[in-house]
Amino acid sequence: MLLFYWTEAGEPMPMLTPGLTARPGFPGRAHLAERYARSSGADLSDLAAYVAFAHFKFAAIAQGIAARTALGAMACQHFGDLSAEVERIAAEGLRRWTK
């Protein structure tokens, strides 16, 4: 999930999560993954599938937020219409899955 939340420069700013990591000075996802693999010795050959899955998981979470917002059950939090954001996240997950 960390690599899902880790936004890089040039990517669309997410509506539901902060995009702080897209600012100058933050390393990219590839750097994080390489550093993790080096320190842990973990095999990251399936990492792309896990990042794609993270997109699908968050798309489901965002759909739940959208449904609760539509019902007025978000304790005065207003997110507006999230349908395009849910579709964008799911489409990005699919793109990463078939890459």
Residue 72 is predicted with a pLDDT of: 79
Residue among 91, 93, 2, 13 at smallest CA distance from 48: 93
What is the DSSP-derived secondary structure letter of residue 12?
Answer: P
- The parts of the chain modelled with pLDDT lower than 50 are none
71: number of Cβ within 10 Å: 8
- Cβ contact 69:77 at 8 Å: yes
What is the pLDDT, as a whole number, of residue 22?
Answer: 93
Structure tokens at 34: 């390489």
Domains of the chain: total: 1
pLDDT tens-digit readout, 56-74: 999 999 998 888 888 877 7
Domain of 12?
Answer: 2-97
Q: Where is 67: in which H helix or E strand?
A: helix 47-70
